[in-house]
Structure formats: C-alpha cells, structure tokens
Structure 1
Amino acid sequence: MGFLDVMPKIYKPVAEVNLSAHSDEPYIHANVKAPRMAGFFVKVFAWVLELRIVGAFVVEILKRNNLVHKFVSFAEISEPPLYTPTHVSEDNYEEQQVYNMKPGSPSTERVQEAVDCLPKDAEFAVNSDSNSDFRRWTIMDYSRAYSSRQITPHLVAMRFLAAVKESSEPHINMSFFINYNPEDILRQAKESTLRYENGTPISVLDGVLVAVKDEIDCMPYPTTGGTKWYHKFRISIEDAHIVKQLRSCGAILVGKTNMHEIGAGTSGINPHYGAVRNPYDITKISGGSSSGSAAVVSAGLCPIALGVDGGGSVRIPASLCGVVGLKPTFGRVSHAGILPLNWTVGMAGVLAGTVEDALIAYAAISGDLQLRQPTPSLAPATNLPLLASTNPIANIKLAKYEKWFNDSADEVRTSCEHALDMLHNHYGWETVEVTLPEIEEMRLAHYVTIASECNASLAPHFAKINFADVGWDVRVAHQVYRSFHSREYLNAQKIRNRQMYFHKEIFKHADVIVTPTTGVTAYPLQRDTFKTGELDYINGAALVRFMIAGNFLGLPAITVMVGCDKGGMPISIQFIGRPWSEATLLHLAYGLQAICSKSFKRPMIYYDLLKEETASQ
C-alpha cells in the first residue's frame, strides 16, 4: 500500500463474536490524532487541504493515523452491506403501560391523547416546590395560564421578543437565532389570544412558543443550514411536515435557531451567525449541531424546540444545556421539508425542558407520515407512555457495557453510576453487563457514511459558490468528506450490518442500552474560534462517543439530565431503545427525572416568561 503502511483489520463473522459481559473482545478508545486548530492555523490548514495533490496526500495521512484505513477503508468484512437502517415492527416485544395512538388521527387529537397520558398534576413545572428558586415552565403551565386568563399568548410573545433582544446584547451575545420575525410572531400570538378569549383554543399547544432549527423549513423564513448561501439554491416554499403538525395545533413558531454550519461539528460555533453560548455558563459551548434549539429551551425562551440529529446533533446540545433530547426511530417522523444533508442517518428530534413536554411534542409530529424511505407501512402504530399510571413500569433491564460506559470524564461517570443506583433503589430496574464490540469501528464507519452523504448532497452547490462564504472549519471538513471512495462507503455499510446484528442480540436480553450522553461536559469557548470556527476532534470524539448507534442503526434514544459537575455544567444519561420503543424510553426518562429534578439548578441565563423575570447572571 506504499506510504499508507497499514495492516487492515480482518473482521471475524458476527456469529463468532462474544457479547457476554466476560468477553475478551477488545475495547478501543477513540484514536484521534489531530491537533486543535482555530484562527490563523485553521486557515492555513484549509489552504493546504485545498491544494489538489498535497491536500489529498495530507487527508490520506489523517485517515491512516486515525485508523480509518485500518478499520474501514481496506478492512476485510464478510457481511453484506446494509444501506439504510430500516426496521420492521418488533412483534415479539410489548411495551408496558402504553396507549396505542389512533392511526391517521389529526395532530390535535394526538396531542390530547398525550395529555391524557400525563399525571393530573402535570400542570406543575419541574422544580416547583417552595424550596427551589428554579421553575421551568411546561406546556401545561402555559396552557393553564392562558385558559385562566392569568396571561395571554400576546403578552408572552412580547416578553419573548424583549428577552431575545436582551440576549443579543454585547455583554451576553447568546446568538440563539439566525432569523426571527417580530411581526409574524406577534400576528400568531394575537390570533392565539383571540382564540382563548373566545374559549376556542385549538389544543394545549395553542400559544406555546416553539423554535425550529434552521435545517427545517418554517415559513416565512429561508432555510440556511447555518450557511450564508444554501437558501440561494434551495428555496423554501412551505413548512416542513413536522412544522405543519405543530402549527395546526396552534403553536407559535418563533423563528429559526442557530446551528453549526451544515451540521458539520459538535460545538455550535458558527462564524457567520455567532457561537451559541451555553445558558448554564456563557463562556462554554452549547454543543451542536442543534445548538440554538437546545439553548433557547434551556434559557426558558421556549418549552420545546425542533432539531435534527445526524450524529448526536439533538442529544449532544440537549445534554450540555441540561434539557431533554429525544431522537425517534428512523422512519417514525417525516423528513419532508428538512435539508437532505445525510438521509440514512439524520432524523428530526425534539428538545424539551421536561419529559412531559417531549411526549406532547413527539405525539404532535409522529403521525401522518409523508416519507420516501422507509415506507410508512414499515412503522407500527405509535405508542404513548401512560405516565399517569400509579405504578412505574417493572422488570426493566438496562444493558451496560462497562468499558464503554467508563470511557468518560470522572464526574460524568460517577454521576451516571449514581443515577443507575437510584433507578435500582426506587424502581428495582436491573443493570445487565454486556459487551458491545467494535464501538470505535462503528464511530469511524458512521463518519464515513455521514461524510459521504453530506458530500453527495452538497457537491453540486459547492461547485457554484464562493468559498469565501464558507466557514474555515467547514472547508476543512469538505476536503475530508470528498475523499471517501466507494469501497470505504461499502465497508462502512458492512459495519452497519454487523452493528445491527450486535444490537439486536443485546436487545434479546435487555430493554434498553444505557450510557452517559456525552463523555465530557461543556468545555470553554475560546476567542480564536469566533471568526474561523474550530477544529477540535479530540473533544468532538468525546461528545459523540455514545451517539452513533442512534443514527447509524436508526434506533430511538433519549437523554435526560441527572446532575452537574463541580463547575455547575449539566451531566446527562442516555437510554438507547429497541426500534419503535419511544414510549419505553419516555417512561424511563420520566422515572429518572422524578428522582433527579429537585437537584437541578437554574441556568446562568434564564428568562421566566410567565413572571417576566430577566436573565440572571
């Protein structure tokens, strides 16, 4: 192989891999060999990579040094490729304490069905006891306040606009939004207020503020994907299907949230629209790529927001910003009206302040599919968790791969271990030790896949644009993305097939797989990143370490906060479920929220729109 000098891995057949807790299968830590770069250095690196011959040589060295060649490019794999993570109905698995949502029902009925699944006291927000000064208002709180005439959607919208203006001031500079239209927001709010005055609200979502990641079509805004140019080639003409569902429930769509440019990173640093700051500490990253959506929920501006998750892009910022992040099963939610950046790994998801709100939003957007692939017939009817049940679901088994679970910062590991202990003590749920092999191989195969698909989607546009309009970190990513060839892509899909087998075997013995959400908490924003973006593959690998199965295998996953590190930054745990088991994940997250939420702290930047409190600092 000449200068590559690599010994490719020969994968043994999947049936010969030992998945027991005492397996001798090796665990490989992320082997990231790339220095952090920003400012002048990332510019130089981009210029080098864009040199036709030299750049290609450097990229291949990077791929060799970071084990892409060994585990993917030249690997020998006997299994056939699996190109899309489609799932048939899991007929042999019955979820506990669920309500079977009526097929084909309108979004308003689905939302009411979700409300009927909530406890009667669901109108009271998390951390509402008198000993806590932090109250995160829920959808039910807003609906109750509107119905009782304590406040109007119009007044809440006015407070929202004042808060966004304040958050954009130089001393805070949160960079929540790429685009919002005060006139449109107030128009929606006045219409909602009139409905409440007439006693005819559409649903509990009527008048509730919802933000949308700028990867999802939402009128009257262009969809930029965090770029300065994408909307010039792809004109938005109507709402994405999931946005239509929320709008039909009376929700007020408040604008397009900031994101990492074309979703090509995990920090949320966008050189065009600003670095989204973490509401818990404005000197720290928010995570990405659905950075703005997580941050606006964390800061109290919206109880729910929409994101898109292609490599943890909903769950990473949800974890770092201390909110709930739900990524549904591949095929559960319509992809119509979402930028086609990575069509076999990306999926719209929900960011919410509470599990109850995640449930309501999920019910609103998960019906009436308009999909190209997979076909709607593959998706079973949607179950909703009966959170109002007096008895928690029982006999739950949580699969834990200890070597993987422990591959995280000490405070993250300790906090998540404590959460598992509390789940056992409160509910009797058992942790089952397993082995999930080839984790690093799966991460690299996912990277080859998402990079190849993103390149295929963007290549026609990149041939026409001025590269001065592209962030420097994205220019570097583009050179790597375009380097992958057909054998690498095919081998990545073979690894997808192997991992699908491994995970299905694990689910024969456990209900969910449990991990920390991210390997580290939010790290500091550095000044040299603001104009160029940042290349920090070491921290990036730590953030995506536990994300990949949800995207690469199309599995549902949810993240919920369990505590904070000694610096006050949120720590979250993740449950990865069987296909179509969103109800079970919501059950587990709700149970964990109930025993952890009273210890949650108020973010540094938090707007109480029902009480008109300004941000605290």
Structure 2
Amino acid sequence: MGFLDVKPKIYKPVAEVNLSPQSDETYSHADVKAPRMAGLFIKIFAWVLELRIVGAFVVEILKRNNRVHKLVSFAEVSESPLFTPSHASEEDYEEQQVHNVKHGSSPAERVQEAVYCLSKDAEITAIGDQDSGFRRWTIMDYSRAYISGETTPLSVAKRFLAAVKESSEPHLNMSFFISYDAEDILEQAKESTIRHERGTPISVLDGVLVAVKDEIDCMPYPTTGGTKWFHKVKISTEDAYIVKQLRSCGAILVGKTNMHEIGAGTSGINPHYGAVRNPYNIDKISGGSSSGSAAVVSAGLCPVALGVDGGGSVRIPASLCGVVGFKPTFGRVSHTGILPLNWTVGMAGVLAGTVEDALIIYATISGDLPLRQPSPSLVPATKFPLLASTNSIANIKLAKYGKWFNDSTDEVRSSCEHALDMLCKHYGWTTVEVTLPEIEEMRLAHYVTIASECASSLAPHFAKIDFSNVGWDVRVAHQVYRSFHSKEYLNAQKIRNRQMHFHKEIFKIADVIVTPTTGVTAYPLQRDTLNTGELDYINGAALVRFMIAGNFLGLPAVTIMVGCDKGGMPIGLQFIGRPWSEATLLHLAYGLQAICSKSSKRPMVFYDLLKKEEGTADQWGGNK
C-alpha cells in the first residue's frame, strides 16, 4: 500500500500482561488526527469521500493516521474472537443489602418492591440546592401530589405542554422533541386523573411523565432514529417491550425525544430536527446520542426518560446535562422494539433526576424478558438495593487506574478526585490502584465494531434512499463505517476478548471501577453546525474516553453529577460494575449522590411542574 504501510502491533498473550499498579504497560492517549469540520467544509469532505476511488483512499489515510491500521486492522492478536458480551451469573459475588425480586412479578409489582427499597429520607428529599429554591421533583413527589389531591396528572400534562411550547420558541429553540401529540398526552393524563380520583392508581408511576428516545418504538409515534427517512422503511406497529412495561404501570408517555442522527455522534446536533441545547447553558451542546432524553430530565419536563446506549449515548448526555445516566448489564432489559443499529454494544438505559427514580424505572423494565429474545436463561434474578442501608455497606473497593482517570481537564479531574475522597472518607470505602491496559486499543476496537454493525444494519436502506435526506456528518460517518472488512472486525472481537479478561481480573480485587464520566464538559454549540452537523473527533474522543467498557464488554455503568466547572457546566463521576451487579452499582451511586447533592445547581432553563397549580411557563420556572 506504499505510504499507507504501517508497523502493526503484536499483542502479547493476556497472561503476560501485568495489571498491578507497578506495571510497565504504557497508557496511550487518544491521538486523534482529524480537523473539526462543519458548514461548507463538511459538505466538500463528504463529496470527496463519496467518490468511489478517491474516497476509499482518503478513508484509508484517515484510518492509518488515527492508528486504526496499527492497533486493529493489521494487528497480530493470538486470542480468539468474542462476538457478544454475554456473561454467566456472578455466583461467587455476594451483593450487600439487597432485596431479591420475586420471579414472575408484574412491572407494577416490581415498582412497588422498588419503592419498598427506598430510604425514608429519599422519599421526602429531592435533589437540589434548597438554599437557591431549586428542587428536582421525583416520581414519589408526583405520586404524593396526585394522591393528596394537591394537583392532578391532567394539570401537570397541561403545564408540560405549555413548557414544551415555550422551549421551542426562537429565544430558546431547545429542540427537545422530534414528535409529541398533545391530544394523546392529555387523553393519557385524563385516564390517570380518573384512576387517582377513584383511589385506584396502578402504581407510583401512574400519571408520571416519561419521555422516550426516538430510537425506541412508542405508539402513536413513528420511530425515526433522528432521520428523515427511517420511519418510512421501518414502520412501527406497537410499543417496544420496555415501553409496554412503563405503560402498564400508568406512566404517561409524552413523545419521542430528539437524538443525534442514527446515533452516529456524541454532540446531539441534528440538522433535521435541531440541535438539542443544554439546559445549563443553551449555547452549549447537550451530548449524544440520547440528547433530548437527558435534556428534558435536566430541564424538569420529565423526572425520567428512556435512552439507548451504544457508545456512552446515555451516560455522556447525562453527565453534560447534570442528571443520572444508568446502563444495565447487556441482556438485562429487552431490546425488542429498539432500532437494530448495533446488536452487540447497544441497549436501553435510563436518564433520571435522581438515583431513586433511576431505580424505579429500572425496576419497571428489568423483569422477565420476552420469549422471542435470545438467551433469557443467561439472565440471573434481579435484585434491588436497600437504599436505607447505605451506611452499613462495608469494605467496598473502587478500582482506579490513575493515568486513565487523570486523562481529563483539570476541572474534571479535581472535581472527581474531590468527590471520590469524600465518598471514601464518609463511608470508609477504599480505592485500589490498578492498571487497565490497552484503553485506546479498546476504543478503536469498539469503533470498528459499532461502525461495522451500523453499516450492516443500514446497508439495505442506504442503497435505496435519497442521500439528500441524510445529514452531512452521517454521510461522512457512513463512508468510514462501510470501509471496515472482515479481518478488522475479527481483530476487534479478539481485542474484546482480551479486555474481558483484563476486567474480570480487576473485578477479582474490586467491586467497581471508578472514572470521570467524560474527559471534558459541554463545549460551545457553534452556529455553523446547525444546518450541516459537525465533525469534531477530538472532542468526541474526550467524551467517550471512559465509556467504552460499558458497551464493548456489556458491563453496567452509572454516572452521577459531582460538581460544575468554572462556567457552571456539570461534571459527572462514573462507576463501572461487574456483570449483573446493578443493585450494588445503584447503591454506590446513591451514596455518592447523598454527599454531592449540593452540587446540583438550577439549570438556565428549568420548568417546575409541581410548583403552582396555574400559570405560564415563565411564572412557574421557565427560562430564568
């Protein structure tokens, strides 16, 4: 290949890799070589890449310069490939202070069991800086307000619709939703109000507003995947399984949230439906690809929302927008009714204002899987954390790889270090220094995997559609995605096998791995991106730096807001757990939330839907 020739990496066998803190393994920073592009430049670049011969050559140059060839394409890896991140039950790991969920229980019964697990303080204390008057209302707050007659689901639904209308006006232009139906929302709210008036609510979720990422089927809406065409080739006829579970508990499904087109980016900039703006600063990105779901929770429009996480797509926007982002173990929740964009790395996740609310939604969607979903026998029994007992959990060990942890901005690093120190001091938990090798290799192997799976999924449709209906950044991404060949995919799966081994070894000495959630906070939303989208792989690499294990290895992970940078933008800390340890992960997240609750400041755009019975958006807490 001439000047495309590279010296490929020869991986030593996993048994010879030293994972101790004294290891001589080199930490490799993501050295991204790709200029930021938007506007006319991204259009020209897309046109070049779409030239059959020239474009293919340019793509290979990009892959060479960004070390894909060296670390994945032509690497020599002796391990066998691992194609799916399936996990056996963790029989040798005893979780502390958990509630065993009754097998075969209905979603409403599981919700009731989750409520039983909430601490009494959690039931009455919402997250926020009480001195500033800011309060994030929880599911329990809404339920109590409905039961007491203080307000009704119908009144809240009307305020919600007024708030969405205001948020779409030119002075804000938040672009939260791709579609919502006022009549359908009001009809659901009327039915819930009648149930409450009769004293027969289905569960504490009855009448609670829940938004759904437009990658998940939710009737009566089309599922666009953030595109202008997907809903025309893939017709939605029923709710996704997880949406059915929420609906069976009385939740009000309020529409389909905006997202990065086909999940192909981390900014949340969608040229078709608008860039989702960050409620903490409307001139900053919200993160992606579950952009709208994170933003509506951050802005107070819904206490919870559903997202899909294929490469940090729940946790990145959760961190940038200052809310909880939770991704369970691969296979824990159903994928039926979710666009099949990436089969082995993506799955549904939860965005919530509090850990307690994340637990309630997790309880709703984590029950028995539908019979048509493969390998339900691999999924062990569900457990919920007894949150009232956080102080009694002892001997928790948090694995920290210092070189990786510190690969972030000074403000992110110092805020996360401070939160970790407070956590260990308050609860008596300890950090364990470790080495986690080949982080950059894992990032690139995950990229090859998610790109190959997305290209394969879209190939039958891309051959037929008019490319003028596709965003320019996605057109560029598609040319790269379709370039990967079988050896590259196989090598990526061999690297997956190596990383599974490394992480299993870490979990022999630690309960969770702790990292910052993102390497940077939300960056400016520039005007030249609004009509074309944006290519910013340098910032993108910083956003996904700590995300990959959760998806590539199918591990559960959660992010909690622990502070803000000097500009007031949220900073998140992440826990990555061993397989099936959702209860422990949520318990630790709750402990972190308790000591960092004062860090949750009021966003620039926030709607307080429980504050007043009557009023306009501005009167009850809109753009302040």
- Output the TM-score relative to the length of structure 1: 0.99
Aligned mates of 2:147, 2:125 — CA distance in 1: 17
What are the within-5 Å matches in structure 2 for residues 62-141 of structure 1?
62-127=62-127, 130-141=130-141
Specify the SS of the correspondent of 1:123: helix
Checking the alignment, whether the CA contact within 8 Å between 2:473 and 2:534 is kept in structure 1 is yes
Paired amino acid for 2:473:
D
- CA, structure 1 residues 302+33, in 2 after alignment: closer, same or farther (shift >3 Å)? same
**Partner of residue 547, structure 2:** 547
**Partner of residue 200, structure 2:** 200
Displacement of 1:373 after TM fit? Answer: 5.9
Per-residue CA deviation, residues 297-345 of structure 1 (Å, 9 max, x unaligned), is 0000000000000000000000000000000000000000000000100
Per-residue CA deviation, residues 58-103 of structure 1 (Å, 9 max, x unaligned), is 0000000000000000000000000000001000001100001111
Paired amino acid for 2:514:
V
Aligned mates of 2:413, 2:599 — CA distance in 1: 18
Aligned mates of 1:7, 1:371 — CA distance in 2: 48
Aligned mates of 1:440, 1:121 — CA distance in 2: 42
Deviates more, 1:507-516 or 1:382-391: 382-391
**Partner of residue 16, structure 1:** 16
**Partner of residue 615, structure 2:** none
Aligned mates of 1:504, 1:288 — CA distance in 2: 29
Per-residue CA deviation, residues 382-410 of structure 1 (Å, 9 max, x unaligned), is 01000022634111000000000000000
- CA, structure 1 residues 395+315, in 2 after alignment: closer, same or farther (shift >3 Å)? same
- CA, structure 1 residues 21+277, in 2 after alignment: closer, same or farther (shift >3 Å)? same
Checking the alignment, whether the CA contact within 8 Å between 1:270 and 1:530 is kept in structure 2 is yes
**Partner of residue 375, structure 2:** 375
- Output the TM-score relative to the length of structure 2: 0.98
**Partner of residue 623, structure 2:** 616
Aligned mates of 2:315, 2:371 — CA distance in 1: 23
Specify the SS of the correspondent of 1:579: coil
Checking the alignment, whether the CA contact within 8 Å between 1:520 and 1:543 is kept in structure 2 is yes
Specify the SS of the correspondent of 1:254: strand
Per-residue CA deviation, residues 407-444 of structure 1 (Å, 9 max, x unaligned), is 00000000000011001110011000000000000000
Displacement of 1:374 after TM fit? Answer: 4.7
Aligned mates of 2:600, 2:270 — CA distance in 1: 29
Displacement of 1:132 after TM fit? Answer: 3.5
Displacement of 1:5 after TM fit? Answer: 2.0
The answer on 1:280 being equivalent to 2:280 is: yes
Specify the SS of the correspondent of 1:477: helix
Checking the alignment, whether the CA contact within 8 Å between 2:48 and 2:55 is kept in structure 1 is yes
Paired amino acid for 1:39:
G
Per-residue CA deviation, residues 478-519 of structure 1 (Å, 9 max, x unaligned), is 000000000000000000000000000000000000000000
**Partner of residue 365, structure 1:** 365
Paired amino acid for 2:302:
C
Aligned mates of 1:103, 1:76 — CA distance in 2: 46
Checking the alignment, whether the CA contact within 8 Å between 1:36 and 1:536 is kept in structure 2 is yes
- CA, structure 1 residues 556+371, in 2 after alignment: closer, same or farther (shift >3 Å)? farther
Aligned mates of 1:173, 1:342 — CA distance in 2: 31
Aligned mates of 2:3, 2:185 — CA distance in 1: 59
The answer on 1:432 being equivalent to 2:422 is: no
Specify the SS of the correspondent of 2:123: coil
- CA, structure 1 residues 494+128, in 2 after alignment: closer, same or farther (shift >3 Å)? closer
- CA, structure 1 residues 327+130, in 2 after alignment: closer, same or farther (shift >3 Å)? closer
Aligned mates of 1:103, 1:219 — CA distance in 2: 28
Aligned mates of 2:97, 2:437 — CA distance in 1: 32
**Partner of residue 422, structure 1:** 422
What are the within-5 Å matches in structure 2 for residues 223-262 of structure 1?
223-262=223-262
Checking the alignment, whether the CA contact within 8 Å between 2:49 and 2:58 is kept in structure 1 is yes
- CA, structure 1 residues 128+531, in 2 after alignment: closer, same or farther (shift >3 Å)? closer
**Partner of residue 312, structure 1:** 312
- CA, structure 1 residues 548+127, in 2 after alignment: closer, same or farther (shift >3 Å)? closer
The answer on 1:557 being equivalent to 2:564 is: no
Aligned residues: 617
Specify the SS of the correspondent of 1:122: helix
Aligned mates of 1:322, 1:527 — CA distance in 2: 24
**Partner of residue 484, structure 1:** 484
Aligned mates of 1:81, 1:210 — CA distance in 2: 39
What are the within-5 Å matches in structure 2 for residues 423-462 of structure 1?
423-462=423-462
Paired amino acid for 1:182:
A
Specify the SS of the correspondent of 1:170: coil
Aligned mates of 1:333, 1:453 — CA distance in 2: 20
Checking the alignment, whether the CA contact within 8 Å between 1:118 and 1:386 is kept in structure 2 is yes
Checking the alignment, whether the CA contact within 8 Å between 1:290 and 1:308 is kept in structure 2 is yes
Checking the alignment, whether the CA contact within 8 Å between 2:561 and 2:599 is kept in structure 1 is no
Checking the alignment, whether the CA contact within 8 Å between 1:549 and 1:555 is kept in structure 2 is yes
Checking the alignment, whether the CA contact within 8 Å between 1:126 and 1:598 is kept in structure 2 is no
Specify the SS of the correspondent of 1:275: coil
Checking the alignment, whether the CA contact within 8 Å between 2:127 and 2:353 is kept in structure 1 is no
- CA, structure 1 residues 371+64, in 2 after alignment: closer, same or farther (shift >3 Å)? farther
Checking the alignment, whether the CA contact within 8 Å between 1:125 and 1:135 is kept in structure 2 is no
**Partner of residue 41, structure 2:** 41
Specify the SS of the correspondent of 1:55: helix
Identity among equivalent pairs (%): 84
Checking the alignment, whether the CA contact within 8 Å between 1:125 and 1:141 is kept in structure 2 is no
Per-residue CA deviation, residues 230-279 of structure 1 (Å, 9 max, x unaligned), is 00000000000000000000000000000000000000000000000000
- CA, structure 1 residues 262+253, in 2 after alignment: closer, same or farther (shift >3 Å)? same
Checking the alignment, whether the CA contact within 8 Å between 1:207 and 1:252 is kept in structure 2 is yes
Displacement of 1:130 after TM fit? Answer: 5.0
**Partner of residue 292, structure 2:** 292
Displacement of 1:598 after TM fit? Answer: 1.8
Specify the SS of the correspondent of 2:603: coil
Structure 2: stretches of 5+ with no match in the other structure? 613-619
Aligned mates of 2:370, 2:48 — CA distance in 1: 43
Aligned mates of 1:390, 1:224 — CA distance in 2: 41
Per-residue CA deviation, residues 181-227 of structure 1 (Å, 9 max, x unaligned), is 00000000000000000000000000000000000000000000000
Checking the alignment, whether the CA contact within 8 Å between 1:81 and 1:494 is kept in structure 2 is yes
Checking the alignment, whether the CA contact within 8 Å between 1:517 and 1:559 is kept in structure 2 is yes
Specify the SS of the correspondent of 2:124: coil
Specify the SS of the correspondent of 1:262: helix
Deviates more, 1:371-380 or 1:234-243: 371-380
Per-residue CA deviation, residues 42-72 of structure 1 (Å, 9 max, x unaligned), is 0000000000000000000000000000000
Aligned mates of 1:264, 1:128 — CA distance in 2: 33
Aligned mates of 2:248, 2:170 — CA distance in 1: 37
What are the within-5 Å matches in structure 2 for residues 453-532 of structure 1?
453-532=453-532
Paired amino acid for 1:478:
H
Checking the alignment, whether the CA contact within 8 Å between 2:128 and 2:601 is kept in structure 1 is no
Q: Give RMSD over aligned pairs.
A: 1.0
**Partner of residue 616, structure 2:** none
Specify the SS of the correspondent of 1:513: strand
Displacement of 1:121 after TM fit? Answer: 3.1
Paired amino acid for 1:291:
S
Structure 1: stretches of 5+ with no match in the other structure? none
Specify the SS of the correspondent of 1:282: strand
**Partner of residue 412, structure 1:** 412
- CA, structure 1 residues 427+197, in 2 after alignment: closer, same or farther (shift >3 Å)? same
Paired amino acid for 1:278:
N
Aligned mates of 1:579, 1:599 — CA distance in 2: 30
